[in-house]
Structure 1
Amino acid sequence: MPVALPVLAVAVAYAVWRGHRARAAAVVVAMGAVPLLVMPLKLWIDRTGPLTAESGYYPSGHTATAMVAYCGAALLLLSPPRTGRGWAMPVAVVLTAATSIGLVLRGYHWPLDVLGSWLLCGMVLALLVTALRWIDNRRAVGSGTAGR
Protein backbone atom coordinates (compact mmCIF):
# COMPACT_ATOMS: atom_id res chain seq x y z
CA MET A 1 0.00 0.00 0.00
CA PRO A 2 2.77 2.52 0.68
CA VAL A 3 3.85 2.15 -2.96
CA ALA A 4 0.64 1.28 -4.84
CA LEU A 5 -1.52 4.12 -3.53
CA PRO A 6 1.02 6.90 -4.30
CA VAL A 7 1.47 5.42 -7.80
CA LEU A 8 -2.29 5.60 -8.26
CA ALA A 9 -2.40 9.16 -6.86
CA VAL A 10 0.21 10.31 -9.39
CA ALA A 11 -1.71 8.64 -12.24
CA VAL A 12 -4.98 10.24 -11.09
CA ALA A 13 -3.32 13.67 -10.89
CA TYR A 14 -1.86 13.16 -14.38
CA ALA A 15 -5.27 12.15 -15.77
CA VAL A 16 -6.95 15.18 -14.19
CA TRP A 17 -4.21 17.45 -15.56
CA ARG A 18 -4.82 16.00 -19.05
CA GLY A 19 -8.54 16.72 -18.72
CA HIS A 20 -9.69 13.14 -18.05
CA ARG A 21 -11.55 13.92 -14.84
CA ALA A 22 -14.33 11.37 -15.39
CA ARG A 23 -11.82 8.58 -16.03
CA ALA A 24 -9.87 9.56 -12.92
CA ALA A 25 -13.06 9.61 -10.85
CA ALA A 26 -14.02 6.13 -12.09
CA VAL A 27 -10.64 4.74 -11.03
CA VAL A 28 -10.91 6.42 -7.62
CA VAL A 29 -14.37 4.89 -7.14
CA ALA A 30 -12.98 1.45 -8.07
CA MET A 31 -10.17 1.89 -5.54
CA GLY A 32 -12.70 2.97 -2.92
CA ALA A 33 -14.71 -0.19 -3.60
CA VAL A 34 -11.79 -2.41 -2.58
CA PRO A 35 -12.11 -2.06 1.21
CA LEU A 36 -15.91 -2.09 0.91
CA LEU A 37 -15.68 -5.51 -0.75
CA VAL A 38 -12.68 -7.01 1.05
CA MET A 39 -13.46 -6.12 4.67
CA PRO A 40 -16.90 -7.79 4.89
CA LEU A 41 -15.45 -10.92 3.25
CA LYS A 42 -12.59 -11.00 5.76
CA LEU A 43 -15.07 -10.77 8.64
CA TRP A 44 -17.46 -13.32 7.16
CA ILE A 45 -14.89 -15.95 6.16
CA ASP A 46 -12.72 -15.40 9.27
CA ARG A 47 -9.74 -17.40 7.97
CA THR A 48 -6.53 -17.66 9.98
CA GLY A 49 -3.20 -16.60 8.56
CA PRO A 50 -0.32 -18.97 7.77
CA LEU A 51 1.91 -17.99 10.69
CA THR A 52 -0.67 -16.82 13.22
CA ALA A 53 -3.83 -17.88 14.98
CA GLU A 54 -5.37 -14.50 14.21
CA SER A 55 -8.11 -14.43 11.58
CA GLY A 56 -9.24 -12.14 8.79
CA TYR A 57 -6.72 -13.09 6.15
CA TYR A 58 -9.00 -14.04 3.23
CA PRO A 59 -9.03 -12.33 0.78
CA SER A 60 -5.75 -10.45 0.80
CA GLY A 61 -6.42 -6.74 1.13
CA HIS A 62 -2.84 -5.91 0.17
CA THR A 63 -3.15 -7.89 -3.07
CA ALA A 64 -6.52 -6.30 -3.81
CA THR A 65 -5.14 -2.81 -3.22
CA ALA A 66 -2.06 -3.46 -5.36
CA MET A 67 -4.09 -4.93 -8.22
CA VAL A 68 -6.65 -2.15 -8.45
CA ALA A 69 -4.11 0.61 -7.82
CA TYR A 70 -1.52 -0.56 -10.34
CA CYS A 71 -4.00 -1.64 -13.02
CA GLY A 72 -6.11 1.48 -12.44
CA ALA A 73 -3.01 3.64 -12.89
CA ALA A 74 -2.18 1.75 -16.10
CA LEU A 75 -5.70 2.28 -17.41
CA LEU A 76 -5.36 6.01 -16.75
CA LEU A 77 -2.06 6.11 -18.59
CA LEU A 78 -3.80 4.38 -21.50
CA SER A 79 -6.27 7.27 -21.77
CA PRO A 80 -6.84 8.43 -25.34
CA PRO A 81 -4.66 8.97 -27.27
CA ARG A 82 -3.12 5.60 -26.45
CA THR A 83 0.20 6.08 -28.20
CA GLY A 84 3.46 4.98 -26.62
CA ARG A 85 2.08 3.59 -23.36
CA GLY A 86 1.68 -0.09 -24.19
CA TRP A 87 4.13 -0.89 -21.39
CA ALA A 88 1.79 0.30 -18.63
CA MET A 89 -0.46 -2.75 -18.21
CA PRO A 90 2.33 -5.37 -18.35
CA VAL A 91 4.20 -3.39 -15.68
CA ALA A 92 1.03 -3.24 -13.56
CA VAL A 93 0.58 -7.01 -13.87
CA VAL A 94 4.21 -7.67 -12.91
CA LEU A 95 3.98 -5.35 -9.89
CA THR A 96 0.74 -7.01 -8.76
CA ALA A 97 2.21 -10.49 -9.19
CA ALA A 98 5.38 -9.48 -7.31
CA THR A 99 3.32 -8.08 -4.44
CA SER A 100 1.20 -11.23 -4.32
CA ILE A 101 4.15 -13.63 -4.43
CA GLY A 102 5.97 -11.61 -1.78
CA LEU A 103 2.99 -11.80 0.57
CA VAL A 104 2.89 -15.58 0.23
CA LEU A 105 6.66 -16.09 0.50
CA ARG A 106 6.90 -13.87 3.58
CA GLY A 107 4.12 -15.88 5.26
CA TYR A 108 1.55 -13.08 5.42
CA HIS A 109 -1.02 -14.91 3.28
CA TRP A 110 -1.96 -18.33 2.00
CA PRO A 111 -1.89 -18.66 -1.81
CA LEU A 112 -5.70 -18.91 -1.84
CA ASP A 113 -5.94 -15.54 -0.05
CA VAL A 114 -4.11 -14.00 -2.99
CA LEU A 115 -6.09 -15.95 -5.58
CA GLY A 116 -9.34 -14.79 -3.97
CA SER A 117 -8.22 -11.18 -4.29
CA TRP A 118 -7.25 -11.68 -7.93
CA LEU A 119 -10.71 -13.05 -8.72
CA LEU A 120 -12.53 -10.38 -6.75
CA CYS A 121 -10.50 -7.53 -8.21
CA GLY A 122 -10.63 -9.02 -11.67
CA MET A 123 -14.38 -8.41 -11.50
CA VAL A 124 -13.82 -4.88 -10.17
CA LEU A 125 -11.39 -4.15 -13.01
CA ALA A 126 -13.77 -5.62 -15.61
CA LEU A 127 -16.46 -3.21 -14.39
CA LEU A 128 -13.91 -0.38 -14.41
CA VAL A 129 -12.90 -1.10 -18.02
CA THR A 130 -16.59 -1.10 -19.00
CA ALA A 131 -17.09 2.23 -17.23
CA LEU A 132 -14.01 3.73 -18.89
CA ARG A 133 -15.19 2.62 -22.34
CA TRP A 134 -18.57 4.22 -21.65
CA ILE A 135 -16.84 7.44 -20.53
CA ASP A 136 -14.63 7.44 -23.64
CA ASN A 137 -17.65 6.86 -25.91
CA ARG A 138 -19.58 9.71 -24.30
CA ARG A 139 -16.56 11.97 -24.63
CA ALA A 140 -16.14 11.01 -28.32
CA VAL A 141 -19.84 11.63 -29.03
CA GLY A 142 -19.64 14.98 -27.23
CA SER A 143 -16.63 16.08 -29.25
CA GLY A 144 -18.03 14.81 -32.55
CA THR A 145 -15.32 12.20 -33.10
CA ALA A 146 -17.47 9.09 -32.64
CA GLY A 147 -17.04 6.56 -35.42
CA ARG A 148 -13.82 8.08 -36.73
Structure 2
Amino acid sequence: MANETTSSKKQPKLLTRVVKGLGHWLGPETPTGKAFVAAEKGMTRAFDRLGRSERFLNLAGGALNRALRARAAYVEAQENWLHLFRLPTSTEMDDLREEVKDVRYQLEAVSSQLEVVIEALEKSRREPQGSEAARPNVNGSAAADRPS
Protein backbone atom coordinates (compact mmCIF):
# COMPACT_ATOMS: atom_id res chain seq x y z
CA MET A 1 0.00 0.00 0.00
CA ALA A 2 2.81 2.39 0.82
CA ASN A 3 4.39 1.81 -2.57
CA GLU A 4 1.13 2.62 -4.39
CA THR A 5 0.76 6.02 -2.74
CA THR A 6 4.38 7.00 -3.38
CA SER A 7 4.23 5.92 -7.03
CA SER A 8 0.95 7.77 -7.63
CA LYS A 9 2.46 10.98 -6.21
CA LYS A 10 5.58 10.59 -8.37
CA GLN A 11 6.42 13.68 -10.45
CA PRO A 12 6.24 13.39 -14.24
CA LYS A 13 9.48 12.73 -16.09
CA LEU A 14 11.74 15.61 -17.03
CA LEU A 15 10.91 15.46 -20.74
CA THR A 16 7.18 15.62 -19.98
CA ARG A 17 7.67 18.64 -17.74
CA VAL A 18 9.86 20.39 -20.35
CA VAL A 19 7.34 19.81 -23.15
CA LYS A 20 4.45 21.01 -21.01
CA GLY A 21 6.40 24.09 -19.95
CA LEU A 22 7.35 24.85 -23.54
CA GLY A 23 3.74 24.43 -24.61
CA HIS A 24 2.64 26.85 -21.92
CA TRP A 25 5.32 29.37 -22.91
CA LEU A 26 4.47 29.20 -26.59
CA GLY A 27 0.69 28.98 -26.18
CA PRO A 28 -1.20 31.51 -28.36
CA GLU A 29 -2.75 33.26 -25.33
CA THR A 30 0.53 34.01 -23.50
CA PRO A 31 2.66 37.09 -24.32
CA THR A 32 5.63 34.89 -25.22
CA GLY A 33 3.42 32.75 -27.45
CA LYS A 34 2.06 35.84 -29.21
CA ALA A 35 5.60 37.11 -29.78
CA PHE A 36 6.65 33.68 -31.10
CA VAL A 37 3.72 33.53 -33.54
CA ALA A 38 4.45 37.08 -34.78
CA ALA A 39 8.17 36.28 -35.22
CA GLU A 40 7.34 33.04 -37.03
CA LYS A 41 4.98 34.82 -39.44
CA GLY A 42 7.58 37.53 -40.10
CA MET A 43 10.35 35.00 -40.75
CA THR A 44 8.07 32.99 -43.02
CA ARG A 45 7.32 36.08 -45.13
CA ALA A 46 11.00 37.09 -45.24
CA PHE A 47 12.21 33.61 -46.23
CA ASP A 48 9.45 33.33 -48.81
CA ARG A 49 10.62 36.58 -50.44
CA LEU A 50 14.23 35.48 -50.14
CA GLY A 51 13.45 32.12 -51.77
CA ARG A 52 11.88 33.87 -54.74
CA SER A 53 14.73 36.33 -55.19
CA GLU A 54 16.74 35.60 -58.33
CA ARG A 55 19.73 37.44 -56.92
CA PHE A 56 19.78 35.38 -53.70
CA LEU A 57 19.33 32.10 -55.57
CA ASN A 58 22.24 32.94 -57.90
CA LEU A 59 24.40 33.93 -54.92
CA ALA A 60 23.53 30.79 -52.93
CA GLY A 61 23.98 28.55 -55.99
CA GLY A 62 27.35 30.11 -56.79
CA ALA A 63 28.54 29.69 -53.20
CA LEU A 64 27.44 26.07 -53.14
CA ASN A 65 29.12 25.43 -56.48
CA ARG A 66 32.39 26.97 -55.25
CA ALA A 67 32.25 24.96 -52.03
CA LEU A 68 31.69 21.70 -53.91
CA ARG A 69 34.54 22.44 -56.31
CA ALA A 70 36.87 23.27 -53.41
CA ARG A 71 35.91 20.00 -51.69
CA ALA A 72 36.56 18.03 -54.89
CA ALA A 73 39.97 19.71 -55.30
CA TYR A 74 40.84 18.91 -51.68
CA VAL A 75 39.88 15.24 -52.09
CA GLU A 76 41.86 14.99 -55.33
CA ALA A 77 44.96 16.52 -53.67
CA GLN A 78 44.61 14.19 -50.70
CA GLU A 79 44.31 11.15 -52.97
CA ASN A 80 47.33 12.25 -54.99
CA TRP A 81 49.44 12.44 -51.82
CA LEU A 82 48.22 9.02 -50.70
CA HIS A 83 49.07 7.56 -54.12
CA LEU A 84 52.50 9.13 -53.88
CA PHE A 85 53.15 7.08 -50.71
CA ARG A 86 51.42 4.01 -52.19
CA LEU A 87 48.61 4.14 -49.62
CA PRO A 88 44.96 3.38 -50.38
CA THR A 89 42.68 6.39 -50.78
CA SER A 90 39.31 6.84 -49.13
CA THR A 91 37.61 6.33 -52.50
CA GLU A 92 39.46 3.05 -53.02
CA MET A 93 38.59 1.95 -49.49
CA ASP A 94 34.90 2.75 -50.11
CA ASP A 95 34.99 0.76 -53.36
CA LEU A 96 36.69 -2.12 -51.56
CA ARG A 97 34.08 -2.02 -48.79
CA GLU A 98 31.31 -2.27 -51.40
CA GLU A 99 33.04 -5.19 -53.11
CA VAL A 100 33.47 -7.03 -49.79
CA LYS A 101 29.80 -6.42 -49.00
CA ASP A 102 28.79 -7.82 -52.41
CA VAL A 103 31.02 -10.88 -51.90
CA ARG A 104 29.51 -11.43 -48.45
CA TYR A 105 25.98 -11.35 -49.89
CA GLN A 106 26.98 -13.77 -52.65
CA LEU A 107 28.61 -16.07 -50.10
CA GLU A 108 25.45 -16.05 -47.98
CA ALA A 109 23.37 -16.91 -51.06
CA VAL A 110 25.70 -19.76 -52.06
CA SER A 111 25.72 -21.03 -48.46
CA SER A 112 21.91 -21.09 -48.40
CA GLN A 113 21.79 -22.90 -51.74
CA LEU A 114 24.39 -25.41 -50.54
CA GLU A 115 22.35 -26.13 -47.41
CA VAL A 116 19.31 -26.89 -49.59
CA VAL A 117 21.37 -29.18 -51.83
CA ILE A 118 22.83 -31.03 -48.81
CA GLU A 119 19.38 -31.51 -47.29
CA ALA A 120 18.06 -32.85 -50.60
CA LEU A 121 21.07 -35.19 -50.92
CA GLU A 122 20.61 -36.52 -47.39
CA LYS A 123 16.90 -37.01 -48.04
CA SER A 124 17.60 -38.90 -51.27
CA ARG A 125 20.09 -41.13 -49.45
CA ARG A 126 17.57 -42.01 -46.73
CA GLU A 127 14.66 -42.80 -49.06
CA PRO A 128 16.23 -45.51 -51.27
CA GLN A 129 17.59 -47.47 -48.25
CA GLY A 130 14.09 -48.38 -47.10
CA SER A 131 12.66 -49.09 -50.56
CA GLU A 132 15.77 -50.64 -52.18
CA ALA A 133 14.86 -54.24 -51.36
CA ALA A 134 11.25 -53.91 -52.51
CA ARG A 135 12.03 -52.20 -55.83
CA PRO A 136 11.66 -54.63 -58.72
CA ASN A 137 14.53 -55.11 -61.13
CA VAL A 138 14.22 -54.64 -64.88
CA ASN A 139 13.43 -58.31 -65.42
CA GLY A 140 10.77 -58.29 -62.70
CA SER A 141 12.74 -59.96 -59.89
CA ALA A 142 13.48 -58.14 -56.61
CA ALA A 143 16.62 -56.00 -56.65
CA ALA A 144 19.61 -57.36 -54.77
CA ASP A 145 21.97 -55.26 -52.66
CA ARG A 146 24.51 -54.76 -55.38
CA PRO A 147 25.58 -51.66 -57.17
CA SER A 148 24.09 -51.12 -60.58
- TM-score normalised by the shorter chain: which range applies? under 0.3
Specify the structure having the higher radius of gyration (Cα).
2
TM-score normalized with structure 1 length = 0.26
Structure with the bigger RCO (C-alpha within 8 Å, sep 6+) is 1
TM-score normalized with structure 2 length = 0.26
